[in-house]
Amino acid sequence: MSAILNAVGVTKLYIRGAETVRALDNINISIERGDMVAVVGPSGSGKTTLLNMLGGFDKPTNGSIYLKEFEISNMKEKELNLIRRKEIGYIFQNFHLLPTLTVRENISIPLIFSGKKEDGRVERVLEVVGLSNRANHLPSQISGGEMQRTAIARALINDPEILIADEPTGNLDSEMALSIFNLFNSINQQEKTIIIVTHNLELAKKCRRCLHIKDGRIE
Ligand SMILES: Nc1ncnc2c1ncn2[C@@H]1O[C@H](COP(=O)(O)OP(=O)(O)OP(=O)(O)O)[C@@H](O)[C@H]1O
Ligand SMILES: [Mg+2]
């Protein structure tokens, strides 16, 4: 295995008025290709901030993030977008679904940007997350768990090398959570790298590796 993602001395400060929040404090991590990593820690410990850095959605205040040979923390937005679309599927903590588009359309958006062919993959992914019968609904017409599964399907549609998921099972009952986790597991068997934030310690234990974050530091 070789490292696919590296965080080197990553610090992230958020300035809120007179207050500075040290959300990440000198983090060093190396994630191997094909690894399955759980990120756990209390609310506010910096998990989402870390995922945003690893996924190239935000830049560190100090330090560097490398995706393969690319220093993504230093990259211009345009170039970064191309790499991100190709390499990363990202499941946001609050889904980020577009409210005026149906489930099927939301899932299809990354295809438009990547230029990949719709070779039936939308139906396949809908099937995988169990949403075939909800494909024509708007986000406002489906449940929280179904929104979560829509976000998961959208992250899978381009078949990315790296899947980054912020609490992907947070709104799901234990049976659905386990089935989504098993789906991630099977994706991981295909040499894909998976990073998931979870409060579910049962699921975290099943990952190959577990990173504990507290106060912006890895314990
Ligand atoms: N945009 C922002 N501006 C200012 N402070 C922020 C911002 N985003 C996060 N923070 C702060 O940074 C710290 C880390 O937040 P983060 O969202 O990474 O935590 P988390 O571990 O994901 O928590 P949760 O489990 O509740 O999702 C918190 O103190 C939070 O209040
Ligand atoms: Mg979070």
Domain count along the chain: 1
Residue 87 lies inside a defined structural domain of this protein: yes
Instruction: Show the domain range for 110.
Output: 34-59+76-214
Q: How much distance in Å is there from the Cα of 55 to the middle of ligand 1?
A: 16
Question: How far is Cα 46 from Cα 215, in angstroms, rounded to an integer?
Answer: 7
- Residue 125 belongs to domain with CATH number: 3.40.50.300
Please state the rounded mean pLDDT for residues 94-114. 94
Our answer on whether the CB atom of 16 is closer than 6 Å to any ligand 1 atom is yes
Distances (CA, A) of 173 to 98, 170, 182: 24, 8, 14
Angle between helix 174-189 and 144-156 (nearest 10): 0
Residue 24 lies inside a defined structural domain of this protein: no
Question: How far is Cα 180 from Cα 145, in angstroms, rounded to an integer?
Answer: 11
Residue 29 lies inside a defined structural domain of this protein: no
Please state the rounded mean pLDDT for residues 26-38. 97
pLDDT digits (tens, 9 = 90+) for 34-81: 999 999 999 999 999 999 999 999 999 999 999 999 999 999 999 999
Q: How much distance in Å is there from the Cα of 43 to the middle of ligand 2?
A: 7
Residue 10 lies inside a defined structural domain of this protein: no
Closest protein CA for atom 26 of ligand 1: 43
- Whole-number average pLDDT of the chain: 94
- 3-class DSSP assignment, residue 140: helix
Query: Where do runs of H (alpha helix) occur along the chain?
Result: 47-54, 77-87, 103-114, 121-128, 144-156, 174-189, 201-206
User: Which tokens hold the place of 189?
Assistant: 């068997």
Q: Which of 25, 40, 48, 213 to mutate to test the pocket of ligand 1 (most atoms within 8 A of CB)?
A: 48
pLDDT grade for 2, boundaries at 50, 70 and 90: confident
Q: What is the pLDDT of residue 99?
A: 97
Please state the rounded mean pLDDT for residues 151-174. 92
Residue 65 lies inside a defined structural domain of this protein: no
